[in-house]
Amino acid sequence: MILLEKITMVEFQNYLLQTKTIIFPFGTIEEHGKHLPLYTDSLIIQEVLYQVAKKKKFFLAPIIPYGVCTTTKEHLGTISIRPETLRQLSYDLVTESYKKGLRNIFLISGHGGGLHMSALKETAEQIIDKFEDIKIAVFSPYDILSKELSSIVQTTNDSHAGELETSIVLFLTPELVKGRSEEEYPKIPKPFIVKDKVKYWPGGVWGDPTKASEKKGELAIKLISDKIISLIDEMEKTSF
C-alpha cells in the first residue's frame, strides 16, 4: 500500500518506476442525519480505497475532507466550501502530480453532490487540454454504480444518509452508527431554489436508515472496490 503521506522522497522515486497512477479521494464534513457521523462521505471512500490499495499498486493521497454541499449547507455540522475553491484545489493537486511524473489521475469522490462533481469535472476538462500524456477519471461510485447499488437496498429512491450509506458505515465502523434516524425525503419545491432548505428537509435524511444492515454494506463495499480496480486496470492499459 503506497500511502503518499507516509513515504519518503526516495521511496516516491522508487515507486514511480512501478506505477504512475495516483488517486485523490474527496469527501465532506456534512450532516448525515442524527445517526451517522459528519465524516461519512470521507470515511466510506477512504476505507474503500484502503482495501483497493491492498490489491493494486498506486499512490493513494490523503483524503480531502471538505467538499461543496448545497442542499445540506445550512444544516448543523456541515462545513461547505465554494465550487471555485474545489476547482482551484483539485487543479493544483493534479498539475503538481503531473510535474512529479504521475500520469494516471483519479479524482474519486465519496460525495455525489451536483455542484461538487461539476467542479471536479471542470478541473479535469481544463487539464486534459493542457497536457498531452495525462489520463484523468472523475467519478463518485454512487453515480457509476447507481443501478447495482440500488439493487442491494429495499428503499426506492434511497440516497443521503439512507439505507445504503447507513449499511456501509455499519459494516465499516458500526460503533459510529448512533441508532437510526426516521425515514425521510426532502420536500424542496422544484424547480425553485430556496434559501431555507432545512425547512423542507429538517432531518437531513433521504431514505430509510431503519432497513440498513451490515450485510448490505459489505456487498456495497465489494461492488465499489471491484469497480475501482477494474477502472485502474482500464486506465493503465488503454490509450484514450
Please report whether residue 185 resides in a domain: yes
**pLDDT attached to residue 56:** 96
Query: In this structure, is residue 14 part of a structural domain?
Result: no
Higher-confidence position of 154 and 238: 154
Three-class SS state of 149: helix
- Residue 146: pLDDT over 80: yes
In 3D space, the residue among 152, 183, 157, 167 whose CA is nearest the CA of residue 33 turns out to be: 183
171 belongs to a structural domain: yes
Q: Which of 5, 23, 33, 25 is nearest to 165 (CA)?
A: 33
| Residue 194 within any structural domain of the chain | yes
* Each residue's pLDDT tens digit, 195-234: 999 999 999 999 999 999 999 999 999 999 999 999 999 9
Confidence of residue 33 (pLDDT cuts 50, 70, 90): very high
CA distance 130 to 134: 9
How many structural domains is the chain composed of? 1
% residues pLDDT > 70 (the chain): 100
pLDDT at residue 239, rounded to an integer: 79
Share of the chain above pLDDT 90, in %: 98
Peptide bond into 202 cis (omega under 30): no
Helices (H) and strands (E) in the chain, counts: 9, 5
Judge whether 36 lies within some domain: yes
Domain that holds residue 111: 20-143+151-226
Residue 104 is assigned to a structural domain of this protein:
yes
pTM above 0.85, yes or no: yes
Does some domain include residue 221?
yes
Q: What is the mean pLDDT of the chain?
A: 97
Q: What is the pLDDT of residue 238?
A: 86
Looking at residue 46, its pLDDT comes to 97
Residue 198 parent element (H or E): helix 197-200
Q: Does 75 reside within a domain?
A: yes
CATH number of the domain bearing residue 25: 3.40.50.10310
Please answer whether residues 222 and 205 qualify as being in contact, where contact means their C-beta atoms are separated by less than 8 angstroms: no
